[in-house]
Structure 1
Amino acid sequence: MNGPVTASPPRRPVRDRVVDVAIFVLVIAFGLLTAIERGKEPLPEPSWLLQLDQAIGVLSCAALLLRRRRPVELAVVLVVVSAWSEFVAGALLVALFTVAVHRPPRVSGAVFALSVVSALAYVLLRPEPAVPPLMMFLFGLAIQGAAVGWGLFVHHRRHLVLSLRDRAARAETEAHLRALQAQHQAREAIAREIHDVLGHRLSLLSVHAGALEYHPGASPEDISRAAKVIRESAHQALQDLREVIGVLRAPVGELPGSGLADLRTLVAESRLAGMRVELAEELAGPAPGEAGHTAYRIVQEGLTNARKHAPRSAVRVRLSGAPGRGLEVEIRNPLPARAAAAPPARAGDARAVTGGQGLAGLAERVSLAGGGLEHGPTGEGDWRLAARLPWPP
């Protein structure tokens, strides 16, 4: 049997390996130059001490292989050793730079503060005869500060690039979500239009076709009149469907629709289908486009529901309103005997969206127009569908 397959560690990018080799070469070159300079003007110290310092420098160069996995630990060790060793300076600068790049600024600051103390200790332990201690300390402080500052610059630049990439990704996601939301809203608007328009027309067709089915002995004049109504309703339904489909090619927000000017035609069609409809209008003027279109759809849905659930009942339609006062629409018809009593529902309540797709879509339409919708049985034995819509002054 084959043993478990272990995942091989991910390979480091070529760029990282090139950088590591370049840094290693530079540190070796720095150590060689230091050794050459120290050979020209040796310090008044034993030769074995210089050799030990050089060996520590070689070990510090080899320890740079740990700079990516344990940068802070490596930097602390090199800082402590640099309090006495001169040849560890090149590796120390690389370690300080690495900590500043890969760790938070507070960690970099703590390591740098420790390196300042170490530089002061080096000046006191191994002073240069030809160089003033203060100048030597300031020179070392400047070199170490430059390494840490460069590392912090790279650190913040990388974080800035990552934040910009994240922001761009989030903006792209938000734009995609907004596009999906707009598409969903457009589909819902089209669905409402198709339901409102075709539901009314098809209910008229059903009424007249049913009359022909249940009265086969009707006079030729009645049959001709019913056939004419069926033909006209089918033609008008096709025209309405074409208008709604035109939304797909129209600019956003331009939905074709009827207004209060077409309300009398709607009532006349319902009367022609055998309904008893009473229309009362108490309007101070023509209602604005959105309010008028929504009021038309409310009346259309109310007549369709009355024709479907209470076909022989009298329907009372009342519209009233004025600029600044609002537009009120109310449709009433007697409840069928089988209807169960239930409290009125308002737009936004759970009950408002459980009575059918027509009322649910109507409640949403009224809510989008800034109004409120109520529907349900009344204490007088009627079914009431009422809405209040804004009418700007």
Structure 2
Amino acid sequence: MEECVPPKPSKQAELVATGAMGVLVALTIVGRLPDPEHDKFLFLDIAVGVAAVALIPVALRRPVPGAIALAVLAALSPAATPPSTLGTLNVAMRRPWRPAILVAVIGTVAHLIQGLWQPIHGLPFLWFAVLDVAVHAALLGWGQGTQARRQLLESLRERARRAEAEQGRRIAEARSLERTKMAREMHDVLAHRLSLLATYAGALEYRPDSSPEKLAKAAGVIRTGVHQALDELREVINVLRDEDVHEGRPQPTFGDLRALVDESRDAGTTIAYEDQVADPASLPLATGRTAYRVVQEGLTNARKHAAGHPVTVLVSGEPGDRLRIELTNPASNGTPLAPGSGTGLVGLTERVQLAGGTLDHGQVPGGGFRLEASLPWPS
């Protein structure tokens, strides 16, 4: 058993223990007075009793040396028996089994010596020895059992504290991952929105001769888009700041693809959209959401790098097979319409892989760019 040293007793506890032992020592001395054979040991009993009571604070602070000193006094007089018993029990409760056994043996031998030269009237020495061994064995077992129970309780408390800390860490990690996921979602939405604004602004820049009605309409679209972009940016910041993650706006699904394509068409992008999906209602929501993000990222990149050129979007698949998405557009204009961080396709690749799919993108023969995704569609 490993050593388990509880905190040292307080001053108040020492005073209580010393007072209690003083009372027991006094009762022991008074109890021996009726026996005439013990009259000659009265002064020795008083001196030993006073010394034993004075050693109580030492025994509580330094259990092993204090208990041995009390055992030596117990060999001289029964007046030291109560303090010696307390010292043995204190060591058994606060120290490992080896020093506890040593102190118990010393206490047993000391009381055997006491019984030899100051026997109890009417009690044979053999029975005195049996009681002596039994009492010290009981003190040893009681103290070690109490210590083991204390260690067990402390171990359980420590495990509970660690489990609580681990749970708190896991909750914090889950919240952080959820905030990152939501922020990524909003980043995709915001990038899409800003690319639309850049498209409208570019149209105003290159067509200053448009009619006032068209200019006013474009300016109104830009104003509305700016407000939407600011709202979405504010939502991103709130997600990153808020410790209590909560659901934000409803996430898009596969059924929102048509609206996404129409929005890009309204911004002036020519899109050839072909839907060859069988039974889209059976498509899992997570798969449909990932497909939406793939098309959104592809259209955003097409507006940035190939503004004014047509885009082809092909979506196909069926239950039990895979959902395939392919976007193609002509070569880049050279200068992006709007700057990008370059991490959109990296994040999109991670998203598709987490969904169990694959993502491929790059130049195609003859010029142009292709973005192709394949997502699992269980039957």
Please tell me the TM-score bracket, short chain as reference: 0.7 to 0.9
The amino acid across from 2:355 in the alignment is G
326-335 or 219-228, which moves further after superposition?
219-228
Conserved 8 A contact 1:100-1:151: yes
Measured after TM superposition, the shift of residue 215 of structure 1 is 1.6
Q: Does 1:306 align with 2:306?
A: no
Distance 1:127 1:332, change over 3 A: farther
Measured after TM superposition, the shift of residue 173 of structure 1 is 3.8
Q: Pick the aligned partner of 1:64 from 51, 56, 61.
A: 56
Conserved 8 A contact 1:119-1:141: no
1:47-62, aligned counterparts within 5 Å?
47=40, 51-52=43-44, 54-62=46-54
In structure 1, the residue matched to 2:16 is: 22
Measured after TM superposition, the shift of residue 72 of structure 1 is 1.4
Q: Distance in 2 between matches of 1:68 and 1:330?
A: 81
2:314 aligns to what SS in structure 1? strand
Q: Does 1:139 align with 2:140?
A: no
Conserved 8 A contact 1:319-1:327: yes
Cα RMSD (Å): 4.1
Q: Distance in 1 between matches of 2:330 and 2:98?
A: 78
Q: Pick the aligned partner of 1:259 from 249, 253, 257.
A: 253
1:71-110, aligned counterparts within 5 Å?
71-83=63-75, 85-110=77-102
Q: Pick the aligned partner of 1:197 from 189, 204, 208.
A: 189
Q: Does 1:362 align with 2:348?
A: yes
Distance 1:130 1:147, change over 3 A: same
Distance 1:38 1:114, change over 3 A: same
Measured after TM superposition, the shift of residue 211 of structure 1 is 0.9
19-28 or 90-99, which moves further after superposition?
19-28
Conserved 8 A contact 1:54-1:87: yes
The amino acid across from 2:290 in the alignment is T
Conserved 8 A contact 2:305-2:333: no
The amino acid across from 1:377 in the alignment is G
In structure 1, the residue matched to 2:324 is: 328
Q: Distance in 2 between matches of 1:104 and 1:54?
A: 33
5+ residue gaps, structure 1:
1-11, 340-353
In structure 2, the residue matched to 1:392 is: 378
Number of equivalent positions? 363
Q: Pick the aligned partner of 2:287 from 288, 291, 312.
A: 291
Q: Distance in 1 between matches of 2:313 and 2:106?
A: 87
The amino acid across from 1:207 in the alignment is T
Measured after TM superposition, the shift of residue 292 of structure 1 is 0.5
Identify which of structures 1 and 2 has the higher relative contact order when contacts are C-alpha pairs closer than 8 Å and 6+ apart: 2
Measured after TM superposition, the shift of residue 220 of structure 1 is 5.9
Q: Distance in 2 between matches of 1:131 and 1:313?
A: 115
Conserved 8 A contact 2:55-2:70: no
In structure 2, the residue matched to 1:218 is: 210
Distance 1:207 1:85, change over 3 A: same
Conserved 8 A contact 1:327-1:391: yes
In structure 2, the residue matched to 1:371 is: 356
Q: Distance in 2 between matches of 1:387 and 1:116?
A: 84
Q: What is the identity percentage for the equivalent residue pairs of Structure 1 and Structure 2?
A: 41
Conserved 8 A contact 1:197-1:241: no
1:67 aligns to what SS in structure 2? helix
Q: Distance in 1 between matches of 2:364 and 2:344?
A: 24
278-287 or 291-300, which moves further after superposition?
278-287
Measured after TM superposition, the shift of residue 95 of structure 1 is 1.0
The amino acid across from 2:31 in the alignment is E
Q: Pick the aligned partner of 2:313 from 292, 314, 317.
A: 317
2:60 aligns to what SS in structure 1? coil
Q: Distance in 2 between matches of 1:115 and 1:125?
A: 16
182-191 or 120-129, which moves further after superposition?
120-129
Conserved 8 A contact 1:334-1:383: yes
5+ residue gaps, structure 2:
1-6
Q: Distance in 1 between matches of 2:231 and 2:20?
A: 82
Q: Distance in 1 between matches of 2:200 and 2:220?
A: 10
1:68 aligns to what SS in structure 2? helix
Measured after TM superposition, the shift of residue 74 of structure 1 is 1.6
Q: Distance in 1 between matches of 2:165 and 2:298?
A: 42
Q: Distance in 1 between matches of 2:175 and 2:125?
A: 74
Deviations 1:164-187 (A, max 9, x none): 654554455445445544443443
Q: Distance in 2 between matches of 1:120 and 1:370?
A: 81
Q: Distance in 2 between matches of 1:173 and 1:129?
A: 63
TM-score with structure 2 setting the length: 0.75
Measured after TM superposition, the shift of residue 101 of structure 1 is 3.1
1:152-171, aligned counterparts within 5 Å?
152=144, 154-156=146-148, 158-159=150-151, 162-163=154-155, 165-167=157-159, 169-170=161-162
Conserved 8 A contact 1:82-1:119: yes
The amino acid across from 1:356 in the alignment is G
Q: Distance in 2 between matches of 1:43 and 1:383?
A: 115
